[in-house]
Structure 1
Amino acid sequence: MAQTSSPPSTSQPAQSSVPSLAALWAKKYYTSVTSVEKPSQLANNRNFKEVTTTEGRKYTAKKLIDNLTLASAQAWSMTETLLSEEIRRHDINPDLVNPLEIAADTRHLFQKVLAAYAERSTPRRLSVIVGKDFGQVRQKYTSIDRRAIGFVSMQFHYTGQKLLKWLSPPEQVLWKPYLKVMDDHMYMPLQAAYEAAANHPYDSPALAAVRHLLPVSSKIAVSVCQKICHLHPDYKTYSGSLHEIQVKTASIRDVEMFQVYLCLCVLENHIQSVQQELFPLCVMLYPCLHVKWKLVQDMLQAMGWQIHEYLPAEPMATFLPYLRIFSEMFAGEVFQND
């Protein structure tokens, strides 16, 4: 196991590390989406300018709120179709997967984000505004059986996808960055990472390593997904080809997710979050999504090389033991009977 002694308590605690890491994630995120979600032809489009006004944003937010209940119901139908058999197969307590409660929590989070959207909060600011709320929902569903968050994540993702159909192309361009912030906070243990960072002294090597990785994690994810598309050009998942935009977006998010869990392992100085949450979720979700383990293994190998390329030697040395553990846990030998 990659375990070392806990960070010394004699140094000054990193009291600012929670907002610091949150701000790092927000900046990284903002940079990644603004380079994609600002087509010049739309930015000069009259309709695009209209939807960016305060009134335009309020109109979009109201339209989505009015359709939120229907989208949530449709999303649960999709989630149930995908995962209902997994409750029995993985011996998950059905009481932990209450569709009405999950839908209600999903609607609450969407309503909060839509209120911020209507008030012209930026996506960069949004990740700080709603981070704690998403962390609380994640904590609620992972406190008894961490696999329950898989149902919440899929419900949340499908709700967001269903809502898009009520938006015009300019509205979609403006709304999608907010949707990605929400998806990221639901799929990834970001709040747990922020809280773990707060337990470290400011000069902690673990904290320094995470500060190096987070800002480049999106670039790494994009490069990794390009590599996987090259290695598996004809591969099709449950949602389509690896080259399709929806699948590509989800793939990039998953590589980012693995990096956040990697950061959490370093900050917590153990691999419990992977053993109890990430690995069981992958075992439950990936077969349903037609993601083969060879794909995951190739992704982890490419991710390790990309991190090595982007990071200096010292932070890389901090991550290396955990990268090895990730590779061992998802190795072909583990799934040889699959």
Structure 2
Amino acid sequence: MLLSTNTSKCPSVERLVKLWAERYTVDVSSLSKNPKFYGELIKAASPEARGLTAAKLVNNVLYGTNHQAGIQAKSLYEYIPDIIDSHLGQRINQFACQVYEKVLDIYQQQSGMVVTPITTQMSTGNVSNQVSLSLSAIPNIEKLANELEQLLLKYQDQHVTAKDWRVVGFLTTLFNFSNKLLINQLTSVEKVLLCPYLKFVEEQVAIPWQRVCAAAAKHQLGSPALTLVEQMLPLAPEIGSTVYCRLLQLFPDHRSLRGGLSDPDVAHSCLRDLDMFQAYLWLSVLEESIRPVEQELVPLCVMVMPSVGVKWGMIDKWKRLLVDEIETRVQFEHKLLLLNYTQGMEQAFFEARKRLGDQGEMIKIPSDLRENLTFHLNS
């Protein structure tokens, strides 16, 4: 969940902010070998071309896109009576459009491209180091986060006005659907430049990366907790992909309301949510408290996952595979530190399941879980 966050200017925070920003870089090594495409990319990065891209989406696509995405997302929850009435749906769409308009305004303020050569040292002695070209599509991620914060918080707050708390899942889903529809309107070069912004919007409302960075302020450089998180953040996408592939093997016939695990849209959501689990784990490590998992991650899973056809057994296996994969990549000296928080996560989910008193489906949302989430969001 998104909470108002201020990141201080200290070395430990700046280290993690740099890693956070790297999530939205684009490897353009292969593109640079295509002079024509690379030339088109340079043109598309000019202020004039960025303005044309933004105008195209605002004038011809944006409002229709969000309406269409809203219809798709609502159909995903159609079995929940009155979860989103027409008035709430209209208000949600209005806030979503405001977010996208602001993103496009910021996108137009950028000029040119920042491409950095990245050298990867190869472990094999007779293989030369690899050099890749990384495009920093979002030059200042903290500025982007700060400029979008109030709009995203207002957008997120819409779930409070809903009759059914599971609407919180709809808010993330709408961004997911809207991004897909917007991307379909972009040229290949526009996608390279703008997709990182769209990815940021979807992640920012769901994954507490910014809070992970802010929590680093209480740790000195070289401290065990900060070192652990520094080492693990860049591995998050790879860890998520590994766990997702394992889930595909274990549950080849699993289907949620959105489709099977191998469906591209479901895969996208799974990978995003695996990143979300990791972010909450590292937030707990840096805050030295399991409360973010107890007060946010667990209630969200209880409220949202069964609404889209994900059973408790799947969540259990998902969590276990993720913890196992993380543990295999953690250095020995950090394993005991990590264990405190992985066990805390296991216990938090166990307690939630015990309170639900259900062996299969999660049907009723306990009031204490709702109150936890409400208090945390409004505190």
Amino acid of the structure 1 residue aligned with 2:16: L
Contact residue 207 and residue 267 of structure 1 kept, 8 A: yes
Q: What is the aligned partner in structure 2 of residue 34 from structure 1?
A: 27
1:128 matched to 2:120? The reply is no
Go from structure 1 to structure 2 and tell me whether the alpha carbon gap of 1:296 and 1:219 turns closer, same or farther (over 3 Å shift). same
Name the residue aligned to 1:52: 44
Aligned equivalents of 1:124, 1:225: Cα separation in 2: 27
Query: What are the Cα deviations for residues 266-286 of structure 1, in whole angstroms up to 9, with x where unaligned?
Result: 122222222222222222222
Aligned-partner Cα distance in 2 for 1:144–1:52: 37
**Residue 117 of structure 1 aligns with which residue?**
107
- What's 1:163 paired with? 182
- With 163-172 and 206-215 compared, the bigger mean Cα shift is at 163-172
Distance 2:98 2:138 in 1: 20
Partner deviation per Cα, 1:235-278 (whole Å, 9 max, x = no partner): 23333232233222221111111000111111222222222222
CA contact (8 A) 1:18 1:197 kept: yes
My pick for the range that moved more, 286-295 or 326-335, is 326-335
Is the 1:197–1:207 contact (alpha carbons within 8 Å) kept by the matching residues of 2? Answer: yes
Distance (Å, rounded) in 2 between the aligned partners of 1:210 and 1:143: 32
* Paired residue secondary structure (1:187): coil
Q: TM-score of the superposition, structure 2-length normalised?
A: 0.70
What is the distance in 1 between the residues matched to 2:178 and 2:18? 27
C-alpha displacement of 1:39: 6.5
Find the residue that maps to 1:130 and give its secondary structure: helix
1:307-333 CA distances to partner (integer Å, 9 max, x unpaired)? 122221233322222212323444576
CA offset at residue 29 of structure 1?
4.2
Could you tell me how far apart the structure 2 residues matched to 1:103 and 1:143 are? 11
Equivalent of 2:65, from 66, 71, 75? Answer: 71
| CA distance in structure 2 between the partners assigned to 1:274 and 1:147 by the alignment | 18
TM-fit CA distance, 1:220: 0.9
Q: 1:160 to 1:14 in 2, by over 3 A?
A: closer
Contact 1:14 1:202 in 2 (8 A): no
- Larger helix proportion, structure 1 or 2? 1
Q: CA deviation at 1:218?
A: 1.2
Larger relative contact order (CA 8 Å, sep ≥ 6): 1
Contact residue 27 and residue 124 of structure 1 kept, 8 A: no
Output aligned runs, 1:259-278, within 5 Å: 259-278=278-297
Amino acid paired to 1:228: L
Counting strand residues as a fraction of each chain, which structure ranks higher? Answer: 2
Per the TM alignment, residue 223 of structure 1 is displaced from its structure 2 partner at its CA by 1.1
Aligned-residue offset at 1:42: 7.7
CA drift of 1:103 comes to: 3.1
For 2:279, give the aligned amino acid: V
Equivalents in 2 of 1:152, 1:134: separation in Å? 16
Q: Answer whether contact 2:290 2:345 (CA < 8 A) is retained.
A: no
Give per-residue Cα distances to partners, 1:88-116, cap 9 Å, x unaligned. 78xxxx99x94454334322332232233
Larger Rg: 2
d(CA) in 1 for partners of 2:220, 2:89: 42
Q: Pick closer, same or farther for the CA change 1:83–1:314 going to 2, 3 Å.
A: farther
Measure the CA separation in 2 of the matches of 1:42 and 1:254: 35
Change in 2 beyond 3 A, CA 1:43/1:279: farther
Shift of 1:85: 6.5
Q: Which residues of 2 match residues 154-233 of structure 1 at below 5 A?
A: 154-233=173-252
| Cα deviation, residue 190, structure 1 | 2.1
Q: Give the equivalent residue in structure 1 for 2:359.
A: 336
Residue identity over aligned pairs, in percent, reads 29
Aligned-residue offset at 1:210: 1.6
Q: Which runs of 5+ in 2 are unaligned?
A: 1-7, 114-135, 362-379
* CA–CA distance in structure 1, aligned partners of residues 203 and 328 of structure 2: 24
CA 78–197 in structure 1, closer or farther in 2 if over 3 Å, else same: same
> Which letter does structure 2 place at the counterpart of 1:127?
I
